């Protein structure tokens, strides 16, 4: 896909992209006053404000509707900041385009529906719109890419992906699980696609925003979309995850922006040496795994000859306990060890089952 860099549509940008503004626009005064406070920080390059708010339950504040588009135009006129909002269907998209908004984004619920994305793409066809696409609610990188492809096929080249986390299964300290590996996979598959992070929706609480934002920059993401409200305590939606403009500035002051590389020749040489060591260790790991799998095959054949089932749950329980304990002694994270050996064991059972089923 042909995708333009951020600098193509935002030529004055000289730092990571930062988009900030309220979760929801609540009044013209709130929208404009928040913008006036944000524009004082030159690290803010664009203003966001929710006009239509897709909510899980009816009866919650679902946004002010189309009148908010006029407030966004006022914000742009008074501050000079590009302005944007979320669109969730074709009608929203038409209204936002007619209002001349600079940035549109598609939310996680909409990204999860190819029909909705296609309807939005059909409206955008033939325009030079800037469109940002949040990840779907579940960690499906192909569904995320599919949404981007639909827009690109409609001629949209000013694309940005937004990582906002995934619906957690079970208990989580965050509102949405980061699942950074999905973002890494997206970047591997689409290396020319700008990707920014929405720490507000990942964290759900102000106290988590710094650690999530720093992680995003540590992984080389291209910027942040952060919710900021003049007085979060009075916000009509998501008050716990919004920062005042002053607190946003403090957060930005703490963040360390990582570079792609270093001109230090000693660093380059040492990095190359360590990477070569990793390559050699990886080769050893794969050869060791291959030897293990060969033993698994022999066990499978021996079980078949003696009419014994593939899965031995007591053996598995004992094995995983011993491996996790050994991993901890070797300073390896126990969750990593558990996941690693679960994968190895699942494939071992698969291999033995295939042997048992052979004619």
| Predicted pLDDT at 42 | 96
Shared domain for 243 and 273, answered yes or no, is no
Shared domain for 218 and 269, answered yes or no, is no
What's the mean pLDDT in 84-98?
97
Residue ending a domain, choose from 226, 254, 282? 254
Whole-angstrom distance, CA of residue 48 vs CA of residue 38? 11
CATH code, domain with 338 = 1.20.59.10
Confidence grade of residue 259 (pLDDT, cut at 50, 70, 90):
confident
- Residue 42: helix, strand or coil by DSSP? coil
At residue 142, does pLDDT exceed 90?
yes
Tens digit of each residue's pLDDT (9 = 90 or more) over 157-168? 999 999 999 998
Q: Taking Cα atoms as reference points, which of 190, 128, 199, 127 lies closest to residue 163?
A: 199
CATH code, domain with 117 = 3.20.20.70
Shared domain for 272 and 250, answered yes or no, is no
Confidence grade of residue 60 (pLDDT, cut at 50, 70, 90):
confident
Shared domain for 215 and 274, answered yes or no, is no
DSSP annotation string for 157-197: -EEEEEE--B--SS--SSSSB--HHHHHHHHHH-TTS-EEE
Residues 263-274 as b or e (16 or more Cβ within 10 Å = b)? eeeeeeeeeeee
Neighbours of 174 (CB within 10 A): 18
Angle between helices 28-38 and 245-254 (to 10 degrees): 30
| Predicted pLDDT at 170 | 78
Sequence-distant (6+) residues with CB within 8 A of 44 are 18, 19, 20, 38, 81
| Predicted pLDDT at 54 | 80
37 occurs within a structural domain: yes
At residue 359, does pLDDT exceed 80?
no
| Predicted pLDDT at 182 | 95
| Predicted pLDDT at 63 | 85
260 occurs within a structural domain: no
| Predicted pLDDT at 247 | 98
Tens digit of each residue's pLDDT (9 = 90 or more) over 167-189? 988 788 999 999 999 999 999 99
Whole-angstrom distance, CA of residue 76 vs CA of residue 161? 23
Shared domain for 349 and 218, answered yes or no, is no
18 occurs within a structural domain: yes
14 occurs within a structural domain: yes
At residue 298, does pLDDT exceed 90?
yes
Q: Compute and round to an integer the Cα radius of gyration of the chain.
A: 25
Range of the domain at 130: 6-254
Confidence grade of residue 133 (pLDDT, cut at 50, 70, 90):
very high
Phi then psi for residue 254, to 5 deg, are: -80, -25
Confidence grade of residue 253 (pLDDT, cut at 50, 70, 90):
very high
Tens digit of each residue's pLDDT (9 = 90 or more) over 301-356? 999 999 999 988 999 999 999 999 999 999 999 999 999 999 999 999 999 999 99
Shared domain for 230 and 272, answered yes or no, is no
Domain count, the chain: 2
At residue 55, does pLDDT exceed 80?
no
Shared domain for 244 and 282, answered yes or no, is no
1 occurs within a structural domain: no
Q: Taking Cα atoms as reference points, which of 45, 117, 32 lies closest to residue 82?
A: 45
Residue ending a domain, choose from 254, 281, 307? 254
Phi then psi for residue 45, to 5 deg, are: -105, -15
Shared domain for 327 and 239, answered yes or no, is no
What mean pLDDT is reported for the chain? 95
What's the mean pLDDT in 193-221?
97
Shared domain for 158 and 192, answered yes or no, is yes
Confidence grade of residue 32 (pLDDT, cut at 50, 70, 90):
very high
């Amino acid at each position: 896909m042909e995708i333009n860099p951020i600098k193509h549509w935002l030529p004055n940008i000289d730092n990571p992209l930062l988009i900030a503004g309220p979760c929801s626009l609540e009044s013209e005064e709130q929208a404009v006053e928040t913008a006036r406070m944000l524009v004082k920080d030159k690290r803010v390059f664009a203003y966001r404000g929710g006009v239509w708010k897709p909510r899980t339950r009816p009866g919650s504040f679902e946004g002010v509707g189309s009148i908010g588009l006029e407030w966004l135009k006022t914000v742009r006129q008074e501050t000079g900041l590009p302005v944007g909002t979320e669109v969730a269907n074709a009608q929203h998209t038409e209204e936002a385009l007619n209002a001349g908004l600079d940035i549109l984004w598609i939310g996680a619920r909409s990204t999860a529906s190819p029909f909705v994305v296609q309807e939005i793409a059909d409206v955008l066809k033939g325009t030079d719109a800037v469109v940002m696409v949040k990840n779907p609610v579940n960690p499906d990188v192909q569904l995320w890419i599919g949404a981007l492809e639909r827009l690109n096929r409609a001629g949209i080249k000013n694309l940005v992906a937004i990582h906002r986390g995934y619906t957690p299964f079970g208990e989580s300290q965050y509102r949405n699980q980061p699942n950074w590996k999905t973002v890494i996979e997206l970047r591997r598959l689409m290396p020319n696609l700008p990707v920014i992070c929405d720490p507000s929706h990942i964290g759900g609480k102000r106290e988590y925003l710094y650690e999530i934002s720093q992680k995003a920059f540590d992984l080389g993401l291209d910027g942040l979309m952060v919710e900021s409200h003049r007085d979060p305590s009075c916000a009509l939606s998501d008050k716990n995850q919004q920062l005042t403009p002053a607190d946003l500035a403090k957060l930005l002051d703490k963040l360390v922006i990582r570079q792609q590389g270093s001109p230090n020749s000693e660093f380059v040489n040492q990095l190359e040496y360590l990477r070569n060591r990793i390559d050699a260790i990886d080769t050893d790991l794969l050869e060791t795994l291959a030897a293990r799998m060969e033993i698994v095959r022999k066990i499978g054949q021996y079980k078949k000859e003696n009419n014994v089932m593939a899965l031995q749950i007591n053996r598995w329980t004992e094995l995983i306990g011993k491996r996790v304990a050994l991993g901890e002694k070797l300073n390896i994270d126990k969750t990593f060890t558990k996941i690693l050996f679960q994968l190895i064991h699942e494939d071992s059972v698969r291999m033995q089952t295939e042997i048992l089923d052979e004619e």
